[in-house]
Amino acid sequence: MRITPEKGSNPRSLKISNKLVSMLNSLPKKGENIFSNYGSLSCTFERNRKKTAYKLGNPRLLKISFHTLRHWKATMEYHRTKDILHVMQILGHRNIKNTLVYTQLINGDAEDAYVCKAAKTVEQAAELIEAGFEYVCEIEGVKLFRKRR
């Protein structure tokens, strides 16, 4: 997916899954771009956010914006990789100071909650990796995996 730069940021390409490609291809298109009309996308997002907040009885959802999602992605990516230059590249920033504004430092003790699974066979290990688990170590012939909650 190519991202067109805005406000002097760097253009970039991001890898997306085949499933997402097929979902995007099923959307009705008037041209080559999928999200070329930001205004209508924003209105749809706001309308669905409002319906969800009402349905769940959670007015805090009304505070979520596209910008909030950008901060969340930057924070989660930094927490996962501990690589601020990687986050800077994903966001398309030219200056590291801008990236630092988007990336919130997370208290490791509160956020380091994992689901742990064990695999005794190659097939079990493959299933765990496909489900997003990462290999940690092997104890007594059993491979241990973890995934952030």
Residues 92 and 23 in one domain: yes
Residues 125 and 70 in one domain: no
Question: Could you list the pLDDT tens digit for every one of the 149 residues in the chain?
Answer: 777 777 777 787 878 889 988 888 887 777 776 666 556 777 888 889 999 999 999 999 999 888 888 888 888 888 888 888 988 888 888 888 888 887 766 555 545 678 899 999 999 999 999 988 889 898 888 999 998 77
Residues 124 and 78 in one domain: no
Q: Do 69 and 61 meet the contact criterion of CB atoms below 8 Å apart?
A: no
- Backbone φ and ψ for 69, nearest 5 degrees, come out as -65, -35
pTM: 0.52
Residues 7 and 79 in one domain: yes
* Count of domains observed in the chain: 2
Percent of the chain with pLDDT over 90: 23
Residues 121 and 49 in one domain: no
Measure the CA–CA gap between 114 and 132, rounded to whole angstroms.
Answer: 12
Residues 18 and 82 in one domain: yes
Q: Do 137 and 127 meet the contact criterion of CB atoms below 8 Å apart?
A: no
Q: Do 147 and 115 meet the contact criterion of CB atoms below 8 Å apart?
A: yes
Say what the pLDDT of residue 94 is: 85
Full domain range(s) for residue 118: 113-148
Measure the CA–CA gap between 28 and 35, rounded to whole angstroms.
Answer: 11
For 90-116, write each residue's pLDDT tens digit. 888 888 888 888 776 655 554 567 889
